[in-house]
Structure 1
Amino acid sequence: MADGARWADNGGRGLVDGRGPDGGHADAVLLGFARALRAADVDASTERVHAFLGAVDELRPGMRADVYWAGRLTLCGGRDDLERYERVFAAYFGDRAPAGHRAAATPPPRLRLVVREGPAPGTAARGEEEQVPPAAALASASEVLRHRDVADLDPVERAQLRRLLAAFALRGEVRRSARRRPARRGEVDPHRTVRELLRRGGEPARLLRHKRADRPRRIVLLVDISGSMAPYADALLRFAHAAARGSRTEVFTIGTRLTRVTRELSHRDPDLAMTALAEAVPDWRGGTRLGELLREFLDRWGQRGMARGAVVVLLSDGWERGDPELLGAQMRRLRRLAHRVIWANPRKARPGYAPLAAGMAAALPSVDAFVEGHSLAALERLAAVVRGARPAPVEGADRA
């Protein structure tokens, strides 16, 4: 990066700009930041990310403000991206430390990017440069956290994960709507064109055009909160809370009962949403009756239109206390209604995993995408699949 590279005073293990024995580490951290922005629905294209890396390289990579402005000016494509950028930057690099505040730095266990604030405008540096505590921006720790299994996180890491999940956004795959909207290019809109001619008294007027509008598909999330899913339930429900900010997302919990929790998750504050959800759901950490509850969902909501043409996501480990054949039959019924059926299983990432549980084996032939759900990176991939990315084919799935 820039020629101002220097080591943080931590025994040679922490870097101000990320350059060191593992070369390219800072770029990996910044690319992880770009991936977190994409998960929050910021349009950080490959070209934008390349411009971001070039801008950081030209500025002072050890300065938090320079990294912030380099990203804001290159990665944000519009006004809507700015709020998402602020949330992701704060979660990924840590909240900004108060001006003049100095805290003792704990020696980090590994190489990490530490982004520091520069001196305030008009203030000359005396002796050594004023620095924000390294704890203000442990970006590489966030990058490592993305790939950690949620079940293995300690309380501090879980708090960091919650901040990153709060910046998530989930949007359904786009479909072409039957409705049309005015456009500069497209087919001629005869009704609007004739009205414009009449308004002008028959004088020649420009042909007005329209085109079919794009609309995201509805997303339906079914989150397993049974005892076997307890280590993952909080993270998956916070993922669902981020998804529920969209107007076309429905969320249900499944255990021994089926509970619709879309209203409870409508709170903007994630902690308030989790509190409301805890009061509404009576069957935490119980058993799982996937077949019966899926039938109830289809009878009460799915068949009436909620699942029709939607992207339905089941977040479960597939353990079934009931009849696996019933689950298989209901999954086939769901697949006939939905546009796509996606199953995210946190256990799938474990070495030697095979879908041998009776419920999972019965459901798999009706699943379009079978993905992992054990980490932040896995949830980012799940969000990409929901948006329309094509994962590897599901082994054993029906391709009718």
Structure 2
Amino acid sequence: MLLRGTDRAAFAVAFVARLRRAGLRVGITETHDLVRALAASPPTSRTVLYWTARVTLVRRHDDLAVFDRVFTTVFDDGPPLPLSRSAVPPKRRDDSVHVTVPGTGSEATAGGEGLPWATLPAPVATGDDLGGEGIDLPDLRPSALAAVAEMPFEELDRAQTEALGATLRTALTHWPQRRGRRHRADPGGRRVALRATIARARRTGWEAITVVRERPLPKPRRVVMLCDVSESMRAQAAAYLQLMRAFTTVADAEVFAFATRLTRLTVPLRDTSPREAIDRAGAAVDDRFGGTRIAANIAALLDSHHGDTVRGGVVVIASDGWDSDPPEVMAAVMARLRRRAYRILWLNPRAGAPGWAPEVGGMAAALPFIDRLLPAATPADLIAAVHHLRDMALTGSAHRPSTGSYI
């Protein structure tokens, strides 16, 4: 073992000082790297020490000659070092430069041989060599999802739809939270933790010198999504099922599909395999691609034993607003839903079309009771809707925005 019992930092500083006197520019960072390298891999031979010092201290090919002379002088007691780099004869740079690896005994290599320092690449042809056409650079291709970000859902194949589902599950990183019943210790809390304060007072003669404060532990809000799978939503049904699966696997949501009646899809969409989950959910909805009764299905949800899941939760409705129920029935049901839910988001595939306005009877009746109307006709729209939920969670605003707003 070389340098046994030697202070590694003292050795590195002394060796770097010799290199600097020879004209090699070595900074504090390189010196620190050498100390760490010697600690991580103690040198077992002269060759190992050479490569450890060379890798950590030498940054340019022109400095190799100075480094080799200093290393040889220190360990071989060779000729005195030159005081400047100009005294060192420059090496000719060939296409493949080889440097002799110093060593002792069998480790010594013959002159002119060794490991290559660098193999220079072939020169790039200039515009004159190409006949004035310039350099032919490869075209950058977008990712699989970025290429179809603005593509309508009906033009996506199954693989692209599954990739969209994976992206939606990854994008659901934050979710709106509510105040929970449990508390945790926090110096900035407003409430005094009586048990913890009394427990600490036992150490100070029952004098409450240290007051422990606590704050409520936040709890994720429940998510409830209702997806329209009627005939007018045939093109968007597959993509919306991927969004529903993302909610069930990440946000522990309750999801329902409806056309003429309500179908709960929470259990089928929690399957481990994404493809099997979508197939099972599609088979469970036997009234899809038929008529639409939005108001009647929302009322059925509120009247069922699943209606308590809406209380204080975020309700996401995905539909184009075409409803066979009268508008006044829709207004009454949405008023009930508004009083019970924390936020109501409506995803409409028609909302992003130029010149679109919510003039359909069902959509116009529901608009005053929703918090945000978002377009949802492309994969980019669904990802933007998920980011809207993330922003809602990060801002943590407790007030309800103005009703009837849409983008």
> TM-score w.r.t. structure 1 length?
0.59
Q: Which amino acid aligns with 1:189?
A: A
Change in 2 beyond 3 A, CA 1:392/1:154: farther
Asked if 1:291 is matched to 2:295, the reply is yes
Separation in 2, partners of 1:257, 1:241: 20
Query: What is the one-letter code of the residue matched to 2:368?
Result: P
> Could you say what the CA RMSD is over the residues aligned between the two structures, in angstroms?
3.3
Structure 2 contact 338–370 (Cα < 8 Å) conserved: yes
Q: How many residues align?
A: 268
- The aligned residue for residue 348 of structure 2 is 345
Match of 2:374 in 1: 371
1:286 CA displacement: 1.5
Q: 1:318 to 1:125 in 2, by over 3 A?
A: farther
Once the two structures are overlaid, the 10-residue window that deviates more, 176-185 or 278-287, is: 176-185
Q: For residue 84 of structure 1, what is the aligned residue in structure 2?
A: none
Which residue matches 2:262?
258
Partners of 1:214 and 1:151 in 2: CA distance: 40
Query: Contact conserved, 2:200 with 2:208, CA < 8 A, in 1?
Result: no
Name the stretch that deviates more: 201-210 or 333-342.
201-210
- Distance in 2 separating the partners of 1:167 and 1:318: 29
Alpha carbons of 1:195 and 1:226: their partners in 2 closer, same or farther (altered >3 Å)? same
- Residue 341 of structure 1 aligns to a residue whose secondary structure is strand
Structure 1 contact 171–216 (Cα < 8 Å) conserved:
no
Structure 1 stretch 188-197 or stretch 310-319: which is displaced more? 188-197
Q: Is 1:354 aligned to residue 357 of structure 2? A: yes
Q: Is the 8 A contact 2:162 2:242 kept in 1?
A: no
CA contact (8 A) 1:168 1:239 kept: no
What is the TM-score of this pair, normalised by structure 2? 0.58
- Per-residue deviation, 1:167: 2.9
Residues 171 and 387, structure 2, Cα contact 8 Å, conserved in 1: no
Q: Say which of 292, 306, 309 aligns to 2:309.
A: 306
Match of 1:352, SS state, is: coil
1:226 pairs with 2:213: no
CA contact (8 A) 1:172 1:386 kept: yes
Code of the aligned partner of 2:152? D
Match of 2:178 in 1: 175
Where does residue 384 of structure 2 map in the other structure? 381
Matches within 5 A, 1:69-218: 138-154=141-157, 157-169=160-172, 171-186=174-189, 187-198=191-202, 206-218=210-222
User: Which consecutive residues of structure 1, in runs of 5 or more, have no partner in the other structure?
Assistant: 1-123, 129-133
Deviation at 1:277, TM superposition (A): 1.2
SS at match of 1:347: coil
Deviation at 1:350, TM superposition (A): 1.7
Amino acid at match of 1:149: P
CA distance, structure 2, for counterparts of residue 207 and residue 394 of structure 1: 44
Percent identity for Structure 1 against Structure 2: 34
Cα distance in 2, alignment partners of residues 335 and 204 from structure 1: 47
The separation in 1 between residues aligned to 2:262 and 2:204, in whole angstroms, is 59
**What is the deviation of 1:165?**
3.4
Decide whether aligned partners of structure 1 residues 330 and 170 sit closer, same or farther in structure 2, where only a CA change above 3 A counts: farther
**SS of equivalent residue, structure 1 residue 348:** coil
CA–CA separation in structure 2 for the residues paired with 1:267 and 1:125: 53
Counterpart CA distance in 2 for 1:125 and 1:252 is: 63
Choose 1 or 2 for highest CA Rg.
Answer: 2
